[in-house]
Amino acid sequence: MLKEDVGKGDITSNAIIPTRTTVEGFIKIEQDGVAAGLEEAKWLLEKCGLRAKLIVKDGQGVNKGAHLLEVQGNARKLFAVERTVLNLIGRMSGIATETAKAVKLANEVNAKVKIAATRKTILRWFDKRAVVLGGGLSHRQGLYDAILIKTSHVKLIGSIEEALKRARNNAPGEKIEIEVKNAMEALEAAKCGAHAILLDNFSHREIRKALELLKRNGLRDKVLVELSGGINLRNIKEFARHDADIISMGCLTHSPKWMQVYMRLNAH
């Protein structure tokens, strides 16, 4: 991020700021929310030879106008890293804030349900960390750390039973989640030993049918049920009312509303 911004150098600062000019300043937030990205910002500032001090902690709720971080050091170095730091804090704080809102709304009607991220990210590690700071779950960090059999996998293999069998045999000990297309497939997946079942883009009627079918067959408590697809802050309460374990929301990371943050500087 920093390299693509700085490139061969900050020609503006190098042209008009004397080499040894020093400054001090702070980063301020312009909205109520959850602070995130501060540890990363501090690390980056210090990596660039500046001194940084956190005023609040990552994951802490903050009010409009709060100072998040103090910084001191060479002016040219600070101008070079300023935008990258603000982008990181603005995006991560936005994701953390939206996640915290989603958690609060969902838990108002279902205290047990968990909110999770998806792989619809731009800055994978940073986006996922921001979700966790907001009170959500990372879910899969990538394709390498959990098995999730999608409907497209099943289509190529031929059946849910065979897909689950191959996953168990070839990746022993791994938890296996599988996406299904309807209530009967959810029942089949549970009977075949899936650890978790993904109901993606199901209507409320279809969700109820799948959950009731699992319950009637004594399998509801043997699997985790995840809801996903088109879930946002406007409709999350409706989905949270179902007896699901996890609600995953792509909107948390694929289109987050950034928090407005800016840096104020004073010359020494």
| Amino acid, res. 54 | L
Which residues are the active-site residues? 83, 120, 150, 179, 200
Report whether 68 contacts 54 (CB < 8 A): yes
From residue 53, how far is each of 126, 190, 239, 260, 267 by CA, in Å? 20, 51, 41, 20, 18
Structure tokens that stand for 108 in this block: 């108002």
